[in-house]
Amino acid sequence: MADAIVIEGLTKRFGRLTAVEALSLRVASGSVHGFLGLNGAGKTTTIRLLLGLLRPSGGRAFVLGHDCQRAGLLARARVGYLPAELGFYADMTGREVLRVCARLSGAGVTATRQSSLLDRLRLGRGDLARRVGEYSTGMRRKLGLVLAFQGDPALLILDEPTEGLDPLMQGVLHTMLAECRGEGRTVFLSSHVLAEVDRVCDRVAVLRNGRLVLDASVEEVRALAPRRVRIAFSGEVPAPVRLPDGVRVLAVGPSEWELEATAAIGALVQFVGRLPVADLEVSERRLEDVVIGYYREPAS
Amino acid sequence: MRAFLALCRHSGRRFRTLVLGMSLVLGGFQVLLAAVADWLQRQSGFGQLAGLAPPAVRQLMGTSLTGVLSVSGVVALGYFHAAVEAALVVLVLAVAGELADEIGSGFVDLVLTRPVQRAAVVGRTIVGVLLAPTVAVGSMVLGTGLGQVLMADATESVVSGRLIGSVAVNLWCLIVCWGGIAVAVAAFARRRASVMGLVGVASLVTLLVDYLARAWQPMDRVAWLSPFHYFSPVELVMGANLGLRDVSVLLATGLAGMTVGMIVYLRRDV
């Protein structure tokens, strides 16, 4: 299947500032692709370039096979977008916002689809009759999600989708994203919540200072994560002199060791097998333990 | 076309109160002026008013003072009163400023990330800039007509439709000219306040330049730069024909502004 997003050497400069530099990335159709980076890394700029809101200083980008600049209209007809900051007019009601955006959408927005989304995200008639200026952050986000999903788009571009949502609604959104993947839709998701990315994404790309520093599957990244191993002994044991390769000491007590394993822990299990082990606890590999490292500037 | 119509409808809803409210006030003002002109005519008050004018004003205005202090002059006053001109300029600035306001508020993200051409967004604003003064000036003409039907002495006080038509067309062209300039500025801006501030100050300065040029010869060299230079209501009241040059300059300036606005908006980052 063709890639839903193809970015080739994309660069965006604002005066002297280079927000995105020579970015090349592919997002496979039917996948959920996380797009990560610190504030100012260039995530939102990249998304705005994909949507034709910004003009690139160099490079090209294709969305669903269409050049974002030359055939942006065709591309955007099948894209649902949730911006990080929702620019609703405060004096418009939720219902008016939905009506205007449905009229502007290329794909037909059916009343059934819209009302199903409103039900799932718990936006009632009373909420829609209120002015958007009176909405809480979470309600604005929910309205934005309905706008993004209501056209049944082939590609969803979501910028911080769970920002301001309560845990219940975050769960609903995660289910909706899983359904999208199941239906063969593509999701390109920018988020600061690494646990969420770990849970819903197939692949992640990390930007640092406008440059791509990591693009790999979540499984591959997770495999790089160190695991914490806590070993409790039934009596006092001497401090370890030499541990197996890929294992290092974090803390050592008379009857408890705390270790970090970057390699498979088979050798470690063998190593402690001759000691009076009372309990052994191994933490899960977490995406964020690796990704945080990519966020940091490399030591000069 | 579908998106363009949807945008027109959306903006129409946002501006209908402002446009209709202002049109009602300006139309009402015209009815009032017709009543005042009728009353002055019946009281033979125009001559007394002319006598009250200070000598300096009489010298400055010359024969045009008699023209202004007449039924036609008072009825037409609503079309060249500074407050009316200011209100109409503010109206088109508010409409044109929507282009910038949508960027500043982020609403444009919801519009342009859908299959909507940028030309449709600017086109909608241009329609607004043409339509808002049409409704407002149209309401003034209706007010004038209504005022004359209700108040005027049928034999003496009826002002010719040609005069009212000429003054109204000249005023409409002036406001459309400022609308075009505002569209050009709005296409660069991110906030409506910037558009209103910048173009508002420009209109005030050029109005002063035009006034000064009428009284002070050296200013005449730069007066041609002011759009108000091509708005000649007093001359029309005195019997002159609406100048094709005036209309052409105002409309061409407005059109140039709209074209610049379109080109800039099609290329800019939002």
Nearest Cα neighbor of A287 from A234, A228, A217, A231 is A217
- How high is the pLDDT of residue B176? 98
pLDDT bin (cut points 50, 70, 90) of residue B150 is confident
Distance from CA of A54 to the nearest CA of B (A): 4
DSSP B139: H
List the single residue in A53, A74, A100 with the smallest CB-CB distance to B109: A53
Distance from CA of B183 to the nearest CA of A (A): 19
Q: Is B16 on the interface with A (CB under 8 A)?
A: no
Give the pair of three-digit tokens for residue A89: 């007019």
Average pLDDT, integer, range B222-250: 93
- How high is the pLDDT of residue A1? 63
Residues 6+ apart with CB under 8 A from B50: B58, B65, B66, B69
- How high is the pLDDT of residue B55? 76
To probe the interface with B, which of A48, A103, A141, A152 has the most B CB atoms within 10 Å? A103
Please give the residue that has the higher pLDDT: either B157 or A274: A274
Burial of B117 (0-12, 13-18, 19+ CB in 10 A): middle
b/e burial code for range A178-215 (CB count within 10 A of at least 16 → b): eebbeeebbbbbbbebbebbbebbbbbbbbbebebbbb
Pick the range with the lowest mean pLDDT from A126-135, B20-29, B156-165: B156-165
By the 8 A CB rule, do A74 and A150 touch? no
- How high is the pLDDT of residue B156? 59
B9 to chain A: which residues are within 8 Å by CB?
103
CA dist., res. B102 & res. B85, Å (int): 26
Q: Do B6 and A83 touch (CB under 8 A)?
A: no
Q: Do B115 and A106 touch (CB under 8 A)?
A: yes
Distance from CA of B249 to the nearest CA of A (A): 35
Distance from CA of B9 to the nearest CA of A (A): 9
Average pLDDT, integer, range B73-83: 92
By the 8 A CB rule, do B199 and B185 touch? yes
Q: Do B113 and A87 touch (CB under 8 A)?
A: no
List the single residue in A51, A55, A85 with the smallest CB-CB distance to B113: A51
Given a cut of 60, is residue B191 above it in pLDDT? yes
Burial of A279 (0-12, 13-18, 19+ CB in 10 A): exposed
CB contacts < 8 A, A to B, total 70
Given a cut of 70, is residue B35 above it in pLDDT? yes
- Chain B residue whose CA is closest to A90: B105
B115 to chain A: which residues are within 8 Å by CB?
73-74, 76-77, 104-106
Give the pair of three-digit tokens for residue A167: 């845990």
B102 to chain A: which residues are within 8 Å by CB?
87
List the single residue in B13, B114, B267 with the smallest CB-CB distance to A76: B114
Q: Is B57 on the interface with A (CB under 8 A)?
A: no
Q: Do B6 and A54 touch (CB under 8 A)?
A: no
- How high is the pLDDT of residue B83? 94
- How high is the pLDDT of residue B155? 47
Average pLDDT, integer, range B190-194: 96
DSSP B26: H
Pairing of strands A32-36, A203-208: parallel
- Chain A residue whose CA is closest to B4: A104
Distance from CA of B201 to the nearest CA of A (A): 27
pLDDT bin (cut points 50, 70, 90) of residue B120 is very high
Q: Tell me the pLDDT tens digit for each residue of A113-131.
A: 899 999 999 999 999 999 9
Given a cut of 90, is residue B44 above it in pLDDT? no
Residues of chain A with pLDDT under 70: 1, 106-107, 299-300
Q: Do B114 and A83 touch (CB under 8 A)?
A: no
Q: Is A28 on the interface with B (CB under 8 A)?
A: no
- Which DSSP string do the residues of chain A spell out, in sequence order? --EEEEEEEEEEEETTEEEEEEEEEEEETT-EEEEE--TTSSHHHHHHHHTTSS--SEEEEEETTEETTTSHHHHHTTEEEE-SS----TTSBHHHHHHHHHHH-SS---HHHHHHHHHHTT--HHHHHSBGGG--HHHHHHHHHHHHHTT--SEEEEESTTTT--HHHHHHHHHHHHHHHHTT-EEEEE-S-HHHHHHH-SEEEEEETTEEEEEEEHHHHHHTS-EEEEEEESS--PPPSSPPTTEEEEEE-SSEEEEEESS-SHHHHHHHTTS-EEEEEEPPP-HHHHHHHHHSPPP-
AA letter at A273: G
pLDDT bin (cut points 50, 70, 90) of residue B153 is low
Q: Is B121 on the interface with A (CB under 8 A)?
A: no
- Chain A residue whose CA is closest to B112: A53
B117 to chain A: which residues are within 8 Å by CB?
73
pLDDT bin (cut points 50, 70, 90) of residue B160 is confident
What percentage of chain B reaches a pLDDT higher than 70? Answer: 97
Nearest Cα neighbor of A82 from A115, A51, A57 is A51
